Structure 1
Amino acid sequence: MWTGRKIVIGAAAVTVLPLMAAPARAAEPADATVVPIQITGDPAKRFNLVVMGDGYTPADMPKFRADLSKHLNDLWTIEPFKSYRSYINVYAVEIPSGESGVSCDPALSSPRRTTPLRMAFWSGCREDGIQRLLVMDSAAAKTYADLVPGATQQNRQILALANSDTYGGAGGTYATASGGNAMSALIAPHELGHSLGGLDDEYDYYQRGVPGGTYTGPEPASIHHTLLTEHEMKTQKKKWWRWLGERSESGGTIGRYEGGLYFSKGVWRPSRHSMMKTLGYYYDQVARERVTQRISAKVNLVQAHTPTDTPVGNDRVLWVETMHPAGHRLSVTWTVDGKTKGKGPNLDLSRLHLKKGTHTVKVTVTDPTSFVRDPSIRSSAALTQTRTWTVDTSLKTPPATVPVDFSSSTPTDKPVGANSVVYVETTHPVRFAPKVRWELDGRRVHGGDRDISLARLHLSNGTHTLVARVGSNSRVWTIDAERPTVAFALSKAAQSRLRPGHTPEYVFDGPFTMRLTGTDDRPGVVVSEFRVDGDGWFNYFGWPTDSAAPWLFTADGTVIDSLTYGKLGKGRHTIEYRATDPSGNTSKPQRFTVTLH
């Protein structure tokens, strides 16, 4: 739920307060502990996700760590966080609370607790509040986030988890989510869609169970809401016209679906049920493009480079160090006086045999991700950066002794997945570029100058060892190429047909349940998903009221808090299922069919 702006419901205007449950009090960070969870680089050069808990006593702290682990493992299965995980540092701020739990949970009559962040349901324990709107003392949150060295308001995002099993969250400058609800790990990426991506809710209601009315305003500023028809979007080249007609990442087709911005009619969204409308599905392409832009804008594509402030001689190597997405490579192109002369992180000027005089060398670093189609986003500093040098052939570069070594790399303390891109950066001698040699299980393999795409190696299942060598130094990674497994269990069927080599078939005369159990050969949370009849992949979290309960399918669905879950019309359906492990490996989808009478 988005906060901090005016929302019109019918004829009434309601101002939703910013994330402030009560008047701010001085935060006391002395007892808080900053715990690095994932470090991909210098925090001054990374996007820093700072996650803090509220209402967790010292005895509750193991629960906070477990809640955080679940949230992160779900987040890393969702694009674009999955592909840009390597851009993100994650820090936990463990704040011991004197009381367990948060205020007004689950009812207004529930205790009002004294906790460091003053987190509270009901919009901050307000009589006119919304039960699921979970707010906090934003000034206190900032004070605790400031404990993370190198993380600033410009390069960080705060996410606060409440010690609660009640469904709730909020998204404004900062994001909140309940820590222990069955769906809480899906609340966080939805709220980050607000706080990080600036996305709006696609709900067709504001108060659950109350129709949202008809939108009568002008063309919305929201990038994923419009009054335009598909034809008008195409001819005017506005809103999501570049994505129209494509299969949505959240299921169905990118098009025009009525409802959004808390209105039931009169305004349209791109997909039937993206994450900004229905928790459990992915972002659609429109939302994913925006979040990709916002993550990338938190870092510099060019992390370091040969100084550009004075002319250089043509007897040296120019270099750049770039970011390295987890799933693909950036494009690095060098030009001299406007003509392309090389690709990759280094340009050896001595090999170009430049004519006497001065020349202009330019390097362009671009992220070619397919997640972005808008040229204005592609050409922005978030996804394209350049550096320029003046080369004067009369200059001689003074000799310098620079030991050949690694300067940074993909972290080696955790296994990498079979489809990852692994990178290294080296020191920068003046007259040559150190050569990186790659070995897989003791054998030389071809890789890039500074990275290697493991997907191109088509690794067999199991564990592999990757080694990068430069000079006399080496770095070693364990590759987890063992996909997770996931098993399904259904309630008793009226009929079943199980034949080797064929899709299992089941017939039910009424409601039935499905349980998915994902397992892996390594510790960590395995995230299971399913989809029905080719629709969008949906996160299997158990059941909305109980994460330990199986999913329930019925002909008309089950209504919980005015939302319908598990609706499966009568007839024959195909259900696919898969799982993703902590290393990012996803199992091959399997399937079965059900016929519901």
Structure 2
Amino acid sequence: MTPVVENGPVATKLDVVFVGDGYTGAEQTDFHADVRAKWEKIAAVEPYASYRRLFNVWAVSAVSRQSGVSGDPVQGVVKDTALKSTFFCDGIERLLCVDTGRVESYAARAPAADLVVVLSNSAKYGGAGYNDVVSQVGYDGIATASSDHSKSDQVAVHETGHSLGKLADEYQYDEYGTYTGAEPWEVNISKLRADEQAAQRMKWYRWLGETSPDGGAVGAYEGGGYYPKGLYRPTENSEMRTLGREFNLPGREAMIAGFHRHASVLTSEVAPGAEVGRGDRIEVRTPAATTVVRWYADGREVFRARGRTAVTPRFLGIRPDGRAHVVTATAVDTTDAVRDPELRRRLTGSLSWHVTR
């Protein structure tokens, strides 16, 4: 196991674990280079880009007996690899499946795993998302992607839309016909038209009419969840419909919600609840530029400290009067990418320390 990005303790960050497949012992250097390159491209996509400081990234080596993966370049090719990566899964050439039990055993070697990305040693186009996997390690899901295809980073982003954002695919197949089932649970597809969503205050009604980063206005566009009729999506053409696009506004909000299922808005290397002195430096970390930090001495805000990420109790006005005092830092993420009040409440944090000397 090798750390690629470390932004803080695993209990307060979203830990992404890359596991390689189809890399021999002699190719492990290539695997680690591929991980670094892939993460840089993923982290450049919103909302990953705005929340880069939320993530730790780990690379776990899995040594395969043979280089490459099964189904590359054609269906009859079989390779002996650690995770059994194979194209043509379920008869679909681009579907890149893995042995999830083996993935679990390797992911467990990382300090923590909230999301697993299997990077398969191949230049062939493909990937898959496992968002209903049951993991004893505790991760949300598994995304697979090939290492060397030009669109593999976008495949990984799309698949994490399933695992982290719990988003549905927004594309369709003509042969699926008309959807007649129950209202889908995913936040980005619905049986309801825009006026029905607004009237019932359901799904993405808070975003209706807003200009979305993937282009156009949020509305209800027919076709999604594989069905050309009977289901609607929020925008014409987002990342969950076409690779290389932006997440639409409801999708971006869902991804931020997924990030914060695992990561904290406010962290510090000074243990919360610890005793500190008047001259001790207390530094906090926040995940995004939109986060506002406030400091309190014995419950009263010290306005001149607002926005600072490091203070001393002395700077906050704590005097050497022999009494015990409490210093508190709070953080609120004010991002305009969130409109759900419940999620907004989760984008807050508070840490306190006792001043005793």
Q: TM above 0.5, one fold?
A: yes
What does residue 136 of structure 1 align with?
98
1:235 to 199, 203, 208: 199
1:53 to 1:387, Cα distance in 2 relative to 1, 3 A: closer
1:176 to 131, 144, 148: 144
1:98-129 CA-to-partner distances (Å, cap 9, x unmatched) read 21221233443x12221100111222xx5xx3
What does residue 565 of structure 1 align with?
none
Give the letter for the 2:163 counterpart: S
Distance 1:64 1:389 in 2: 43
What does residue 462 of structure 1 align with?
none
Give the letter for the 1:219 counterpart: E
- Contact 2:204–2:250 (CA under 8 A) maintained in structure 1: yes
1:212 to 1:322, Cα distance in 2 relative to 1, 3 A: farther
Give the letter for the 1:282 counterpart: E
**Alpha-carbon offset, residue 301 of structure 1:** 2.5
- Contact 1:301–1:384 (CA under 8 A) maintained in structure 2: yes
Give the letter for the 1:96 counterpart: V
2:240 to 273, 276, 286: 276
Distance 2:57 2:313 in 1: 37
What does residue 38 of structure 1 align with?
5
Give the letter for the 2:252 counterpart: R
Q: State the Cα RMSD in Å.
A: 3.1
**1:188-587 correspondence runs (5 A):** 188-205=156-173, 210-304=174-268, 307-308=272-273, 316=278, 321-325=283-287, 328-335=289-296, 340-342=301-303, 343=306, 344=308, 345-346=310-311, 348=313, 351=317, 363-380=329-346, 383-387=347-351, 397-398=356-357
Three-state SS of the structure 2 residue aligned to 1:291 is: helix
What does residue 118 of structure 2 align with?
160
- Contact 1:334–1:347 (CA under 8 A) maintained in structure 2: no
Distance 1:222 1:365 in 2: 29
**Alpha-carbon offset, residue 258 of structure 1:** 0.6
Is 1:73 aligned with 2:40? yes
Unaligned runs of 5+ in 1: 1-33, 392-396, 399-597
- Contact 2:13–2:56 (CA under 8 A) maintained in structure 1: yes
Give the letter for the 1:195 counterpart: S
1:306 to 1:141, Cα distance in 2 relative to 1, 3 A: closer
What does residue 137 of structure 2 align with?
none
**Alpha-carbon offset, residue 96 of structure 1:** 2.9
1:215-265 CA-to-partner distances (Å, cap 9, x unmatched) read 112222111112222223233332212222122111222111111111111
What does residue 83 of structure 1 align with?
50
Give the letter for the 2:109 counterpart: L
- Contact 2:214–2:245 (CA under 8 A) maintained in structure 1: yes
Distance 1:106 1:294 in 2: 35
TM-score by length of 2: 0.83
Distance 2:283 2:264 in 1: 10
1:361 to 1:185, Cα distance in 2 relative to 1, 3 A: closer
- Contact 2:313–2:327 (CA under 8 A) maintained in structure 1: no
**Alpha-carbon offset, residue 285 of structure 1:** 1.4
1:145 to 93, 107, 125: 107
Give the letter for the 1:121 counterpart: F
Distance 2:182 2:341 in 1: 26
Give the letter for the 2:147 counterpart: G
**Alpha-carbon offset, residue 87 of structure 1:** 2.0
Identity %: 38
Three-state SS of the structure 1 residue aligned to 2:101 is: helix
Three-state SS of the structure 1 residue aligned to 2:247 is: coil
Distance 1:297 1:306 in 2: 21
Unaligned runs of 5+ in 2: 131-140
2:85 to 91, 96, 119: 119
Give the letter for the 1:137 counterpart: D
Three-state SS of the structure 1 residue aligned to 2:18 is: strand
Distance 1:261 1:106 in 2: 29
Distance 2:351 2:105 in 1: 36
**Alpha-carbon offset, residue 69 of structure 1:** 4.3
Indicate the structure with greater strand content. Answer: 1
1:347 to 1:329, Cα distance in 2 relative to 1, 3 A: farther
| Larger Rg belongs to | 1
**Alpha-carbon offset, residue 141 of structure 1:** 1.5
Indicate the structure with greater helix content. Answer: 2
- Contact 1:301–1:322 (CA under 8 A) maintained in structure 2: no
Give the letter for the 2:331 counterpart: V
2:70 to 90, 98, 103: 103
Distance 1:302 1:44 in 2: 12
1:267-306 CA-to-partner distances (Å, cap 9, x unmatched) read 1011111111100101111111111122233222332356
Distance 2:79 2:101 in 1: 18
1:218 to 1:363, Cα distance in 2 relative to 1, 3 A: same
Distance 2:192 2:226 in 1: 18
- Contact 1:302–1:320 (CA under 8 A) maintained in structure 2: no
1:317 to 1:231, Cα distance in 2 relative to 1, 3 A: farther
Three-state SS of the structure 2 residue aligned to 1:232 is: helix
Three-state SS of the structure 2 residue aligned to 1:297 is: coil
1:167-223 CA-to-partner distances (Å, cap 9, x unmatched) read 211111211012222322210100111112211111212xxxx53211112222111
Give the letter for the 2:256 counterpart: T
- Contact 2:96–2:126 (CA under 8 A) maintained in structure 1: yes
- Contact 2:69–2:78 (CA under 8 A) maintained in structure 1: yes
- Contact 2:282–2:312 (CA under 8 A) maintained in structure 1: no
Higher relative contact order (CA 8 A, sep 6+): 2
1:38-70 CA-to-partner distances (Å, cap 9, x unmatched) read 233344543222112211234544654554344
Tell me the matched-pair count: 341
Three-state SS of the structure 1 residue aligned to 2:175 is: coil
